[in-house]
Amino acid sequence: MTPRRLSQAISEGDGISVIVAVDGPEAARGADEAGAEAVLVHSGQEGKLSAIRGVTDLPILFFFDGQHAVDLDGVDACLVDVLDDDRGWLDHLRLELGDRFELAPRICNEQHLEFVLDALDPEILVLGVPPKDEAALEGVLDLLPDVPAGKLAIADAGARTREEVVELERAGVDGVIVGAANVADLVGAAPPEV
C-alpha cells in the first residue's frame, strides 16, 4: 500500500500548502520552522536525503529522474515529469517505484493531463510550465479548470510573492512549490479570505 503522507499534508488544514525546494538539511529545518507543509529535494541530492529526514518530519517530495528506488530512503512521494504520451516511461515508473512512493506527475498542457489521468489516475497533479516562462502563473491557472474534482493540484510556477501564492489559493490550487528564500513571507500569518 502506497503511503499518502504528501497528499494528507496538502489536503489537511486551511489554505494553500507551501512546498519548499531545499538543497540540504539546514534549508529543510528552516522550511519546517517557517511553516512549510512539505519539502522538495531535486535529483542529484539523493546523498542528502537521510540528513534531511533527520531534521524534519515533513513529507519529502523528490524530483525523480530515473534513480533507483533503493537510493530514495526517507522519500514519501516522487515528482515525475510527463512531457509526452510515453507509456514506456510510465511502465518504468511502475517497475522502479512500485507502490512504495506516492506519484505526483508534473504536466504542462491539457494533452499531458488527459494522458496522465488515463494512464496513472494519480491523486496529486503538479501543474507546471517551463520555469523561465513569464506567463507561468497564467499557464497553471489555465490548466486548473481541467483538473478533475477530488484531485490535488500543486502549482510549480515559480511563485515568488505572497500575492502570487494568494492568487493561486483563490483559484483553488491546493499546494505551491516555492524556493527556500522568504518562506515565512509566502506562508503568511493566516490564510487569506476567499
Read off the pTM: 0.89
Note the pLDDT of residue 135.
76
Residue, of 11 and 95, whose pLDDT is higher: 11
Residue holding cell 514519501?
76
CA angle 113, 114, 118 (to 5 degrees): 115
Q: By the 8 A CB rule, do 155 and 178 touch?
A: no
Q: What is the pLDDT of residues 153-169, one digit of tens each?
A: 999 988 888 899 999 99
Res. 133 pLDDT band, cuts 50 70 90 = low
Residue holding cell 496529486?
124
pLDDT (average), residues 1-22: 84
- Which amino acid appears at position 147 of this protein? V
Q: What is the pLDDT of residues 70-80, one digit of tens each?
A: 889 899 999 99
Note the pLDDT of residue 131.
56
Q: Percent of the chain beyond pLDDT 70? A: 90
Taken in order 49, 53, 55, 59, the sign of the CA dihedral is: positive
Burial 129-159 (b: 16+ CB within 10 A, else e): beeeeeebbebbbebbeebeeeebbbbbbbb
Residue 192 has pLDDT above 60, yes or no: no
Residue, of 173 and 182, whose pLDDT is higher: 173
Domains of the chain with bracketed CATH: 5-187 (3.20.20.70)
- Which amino acid appears at position 72 of this protein? L
Q: What is the pLDDT of residues 18-41, one digit of tens each?
A: 999 999 999 999 999 999 999 999
pLDDT (average), residues 54-60: 96
